[in-house]
Amino acid sequence: MDAVPISWYLMLSAFMFAMGVTGVVIRRNPIVIFMCIELMLNAANLAFLAFARQQAQLGVQVAGQVFVILVMAVAAAEVAIGLGIIVAIYRLRDTINVDEMNLLKF
Amino acid sequence: MNSVFDLIWVVIALPLAGFLFHAFFGKRVGKKADGTVGTAVVLGAFALSVYLLLELLRLPAEERQVVSTLWRWIEAGTFRVSFEALVDPLSLLMALIVTGVGGLIHLYSTGYMAEDEDYPRFFTYMNLFIVFMLTLVLSNNLLMMFVGWEGVGLCSYLLIGFWYRDKVNTDSANKAFIVNRIGDWGFMLAVILSFWTFGTLSFAGEENMFQKAIEMKQAGMLAPGVIAAIALLLFVGATGKSAQFPLYMWLPDAMAGPTPVSALIHAATMVTAGVVMVTRCHVFYELAPTAMLVVAVIGVFTAIFAATIAIAQTDIKRVLAYSTVSQLGYMFLGCGVGAFASGMFHVTTHAFFKALLFLGSGSVILAMHHEQDMRRMGGLAKYLPITYWTMLAGWLAIAGIPPLAGFFSKDEILASAFGTHALPVSMGQILWAVGLVTALLTAFYMTRLMGLTFWGEPRWATAHTAHHGKDDAHGHHGEPSESPPSMTIPLMILAVLSVVGGFVGGFAPLHIPNRFEAFLEPSAGLKVLGEEALGHLPVSIEWILVGASVAAAVLGIWFGWARYRAGLPENERELAGVRKVLYNQYYYDWLMVKGIGLWLGGKIAHWMWQFVDVRLIDGLVNGIAGFTGWTGNRLRRVQTGYVRNYAFTILIGAIVLLIWFLVRGASAGLTR
């Protein structure tokens, strides 16, 4: 009945994850970096759901879906805090370019 | 923990209480109470020791070793050391000497130190010394013995430097302390090696190292080198504490302390600790014939070496100090030829007459207003009759005139040396001959001491006016006077002991059994070599030996009498030639302290500082720090501060991990 095999989902998930990683590494705008992180999280969610669906067909529990909801909640919290930090940094330094935030070095 | 012998702890606790009393209240209660308490606690301990001795004698001979445990002290793995006392003939004998002679000396001190402002401090140290000395002799294991050993060393140090305002005194105290460190090093190594070999340090009880040593020997598991090393290292400790060659040179300097200290610590008790320890560990020596030979040779060499030095000394206390070194050599000679009980017998009699002689010299010194040079004495017999007559007893006793105490013990040691089978027989006879010459020298220098001090014309009239002022309360100007009763009573008691003390030893030529030896049998009887090692001389030879030692004593006294009965011979007013060499103890002290101690020791210390400390240790420490710093400097470049870089690093790491898992999974799949 279901014609889409699990490998397709996983490939899409991997592609999204790789895009997210690339974005995090090369972009300088923290807002965009955040969006890329969202992308990675959602890639993970997609993988979760794909597996969960397959497991459901095997007649097992629905833990995958629960994890997804958990990840979404955590991501929302993270974004809320992260945006708060970004706003605070902007107020302090009039920029949010991450390349100028290198105070962590020696 | 419920026999009568647990009272042994009270014997130690009494002087300990005295020590605490003086330390905390000494200055408040006044001299009278101080002296009374200080003496009473020691005499109380003596009374208790006598009671315990009587109790011990009620037991059959083979049961006369009772262990009383106070608490478990150290417990690590199989290593167990308890705080426990061993009540046996040897320990009780020493306890009696320490508290008995010690009590008399405390009584004497109440008179001798009466004018001293630091009176409470003196009794604090003296009581503490008794505590540690009792710990030493009563302990049932080497480690607790070591505690006492170090404790008496401390008290000796404190009391030698008692009059600390004179730098000479503190220097002497330091010397005693430092020289003893060398000996203690040997003792400590012996303790470690004993534990390593036997797994126990106890003298008696279920698990004791002597029993174990004998068993291991029978099983052929005991390397002869190890047992010889233990015995010799213990003997190194003994040479330090008992002032034997080559570590004897602290004892003559120790005379800087108050005279009661010289009598108690440096003649009667602490310096004999080495003999006690060797006797206590006699099984080790029996198992190591080489070690016995070393003990005997060092003993007899020290005896004659110190006796020759004593001949030329001018300070009355230094004569006695070298005499002590010499007599201690006799005791080790006894131990070295296997006659451990004879060595202990000489410890006992020597405690009587040497304490007497020291206290007598203290009485003389006090009468002479702290003049100690015998060249400025003479003719004192008339002024100090009690001191004179009591010292006369001590003089004849140490010279070996029968039937005084010194004769019996010295003769027994010499006879044992002559007839020993523990060493090659000819060796024993050489030792005997040297010992005999020493006996002659002993009689000679003691006669010299008596002559210069008590006989002839007074030579102090002029000296006195130059030296008066320090202790004027002790005597009227011009005429020295006898000491107070608190000082003369101990002198009289010790004189009586010096006269009759030898009779407990029996007399082999007349077939009088040696009760002293029989009494010490459980502690000092030969356990490995067997009684035949002592040899049994025919009565005729015994008589010849006795004749020889009496002849030596009489000859020595006759030489001394001929030379010194009229006082100071003209050619001894200034020392020259051989006398000067002897006076300077063959320059040995000069060589050891200035030469080896300060020059060579300084060189070695300098090298240790420059090479070992500065280069090796500092180099290592700084090298490690430098390397860490250098690495850190390189690694810190990784920290860029760009979050992206960190994220990228994490990504790389994740990829590497992924590849690792994949490869491993693939290979696992292949092998499956």
Contacts of B647 in chain A (CB under 8 A): 24-25
Those residues with Cβ within 8 angstroms of residue B363's Cβ, 6 or more apart along the chain or in another chain: B384, B387, B482, B483, B487, B488, B491
Residue with more model confidence, B107 or A56: B107
Q: How far apart are CA B193 and CA B539, in angstroms?
A: 43
Cβ-Cβ contacts under 8 Å between A and B: the total is 27
Whether the per-residue pLDDT at A91 is higher than 60: the answer is yes
Q: What is the mean pLDDT of residues A59-75?
A: 84
Q: Both tokens of residue B435?
A: 């010992």
Selection from B56, B41, B217 nearest residue B130 by Cα = B41
The pLDDT score that the predictor gives to residue B47 is: 94
The pLDDT score that the predictor gives to residue B668 is: 76
> Could you say which residues of chain B have pLDDT below 70?
1-2, 461-478, 670-672
Q: What angle do the packed helices B142-160 and B119-138 form, to 10 degrees?
A: 160
Q: Residue B448: how many CB atoms within 10 A of its CB?
A: 25
What is the reported pTM? 0.77
Q: Could you tell me if B648 lies within 8 Å of chain A, comparing CB atoms?
A: yes
Q: B543-573: string of b/e by CB count within 10 Å (b at 16+)?
A: eebbebbbebbbebbebbbeebeebbeeebe
Nearest CB partner across the interface for B644, out of A25, A103, A105: A25
Q: What is the mean pLDDT of residues A43-64?
A: 80
Chain A residue with the nearest C-alpha to that of B651: A21
The pLDDT score that the predictor gives to residue B457 is: 84
The pLDDT score that the predictor gives to residue B548 is: 92
H or E stretch at B2: none
Cα–Cα distances in Å, from B447 out to B184, B194, B251, B454?
A: 36, 45, 22, 10
- Report the residue of B642, B646, B648 to disrupt the A interface, i.e. the one with the largest count of A CBs within 10 Å: B642
Those residues with Cβ within 8 angstroms of residue B62's Cβ, 6 or more apart along the chain or in another chain: B522
SS3 track for B433-497: HHHHHHHHHHHHHHHHHHHHHHCCCCCHHHHHHHHCCCCHHHCCCCCCCCCCHHHHHHHHHHHHH
Among A32-46, A52-66, B116-130, which stretch is predicted with the lowest mean pLDDT? Answer: A52-66
Q: Could you tell me if A25 lies within 8 Å of chain B, comparing CB atoms?
A: yes
Cα–Cα distances in Å, from B343 out to B245, B306, B431, B457, B505?
A: 18, 18, 15, 39, 12
Question: pLDDT tens across B45-57, in order?
Answer: 999 999 999 998 8
> Rounded to an integer, what is the distance from CA B62 to the centroid of its chain?
29
CA torsion B227-B228-B229-B231 (nearest 10°) is 90
Those residues with Cβ within 8 angstroms of residue B537's Cβ, 6 or more apart along the chain or in another chain: B415, B418, B419, B508, B545
What type of residue is A78?
E
Report residue B71: phi and psi, to 5°. Answer: -160, 160
SS3 (DSSP) at B163 = coil
Q: What is the mean pLDDT of residues A33-56?
A: 88
Q: How far apart are CA B14 and CA B171, in angstroms?
A: 32
Q: Could you tell me if A26 lies within 8 Å of chain B, comparing CB atoms?
A: yes
